[in-house]
Structure 1
Amino acid sequence: MSHYPRDEFDDVPEAPRRQGVHRTKGAVESGRRGIGGVIIAAAIVVILVAAALFIVPKLLGSSATTGPTAGGSSSAPAPATPSATPTPTTAPSSTPTPTQSAPVQADKTLAVGIYNATSTAGLGNRAATAARNAGWTVGGVGNWTGSPVSSSVVFYKDASQKASAQALAADLGIATVLQAQQLGYPLAAVVGPGYTG
């Protein structure tokens, strides 16, 4: 036996509890359950994002294609009927002429988003340069994250912007113009396969 005075090292319990990296079986299993929950939550998020990116734009695209056609058809007969009635009485031929010429004018101050929907690098920037050279205000250039497109298309947000969308499409050499109300910009040009600029 030693005759040294007692200190804190002499008070070590005979059966110390485990510390540090020693884990019990229950702690390991609860960690595994936590990871499983995270993986399931991540899978649900991926499914929701995929639905938002691919399914919703297709549904909106089909309604946007049907909407302008029905709106255009219904708006064409409506002005024809009222203009036929007042024309014999007061000759307002000057009134329909400005109404017809106003939609033809393009508002090049509208912000335009240019998106590359191809694997060709720099095609969006090339289209943006062409739009700027034609006098358009390009708000942003990026890669298209919406539903896949088979050809280039110009989208417009509001029906009053259709003439501007058609003018932008003509300046960029794009044949298709559609309405999509969920755009971030008033106009968006999506450069698809076959675009030559």
Structure 2
Amino acid sequence: MARSTFPRDRFDDLPDSTGRVGAHRAERPRTRGWIVFLWAAIATLVLIIVGIFGSLVASGRISLGADDAPVPTVSAEPTEAVVVDTSYSVVVLNGTGQDGLAATVRDQIVAAGWAGDTVETGDSDSTDFAQTTIYYLRDGDEAAARGLAQTIGGAEVAQSDFLQPTDDPNTPDDESAVKRLVVVIGLDRAAGATPSATAQ
């Protein structure tokens, strides 16, 4: 075989230990595909978590700042007006079979400021009236009825024309009309009685 006439270069001095002649491509490592798959799975998981978190923030279910947290507020429930008005006349009826209850309640009312001659007592047609109730005629009388209920230590309040004076129908709300509250004492104030009915 004829010797090459080309001048020598750096490739002529390579050692023969490699056992390779010519150009060769390195083998691809087998684990590289799994690494790519793993990184793709991690990226997908991160995107899903970020998407869920972003949607929760956008919908207001998660607050990023402590200042944005809602402050609980306590709202007072509206209460009915209560006025103790001694200008009303009062009729106290005993709706139980126990004697002396009407007089006892009358004494409470007079002690609270009503004139003695404006508070009358009597017996109801029923002796098994269930709950002590104060009846008033007009819408504007409700506050006074609640005030009287408070005066006698608590009672139901209801609007009714029960035992109310008959006024001129042309001026039902005239201030000059007689103002009256009617108290019917119930079995809730009678000792050892059992409520069974209401009566008027």
TM-score category of the 2 structures, normalised to the smaller one: 0.3 to 0.5
Q: TM-score, normalised by structure 1?
A: 0.44
Higher helix fraction (1 or 2) = 1
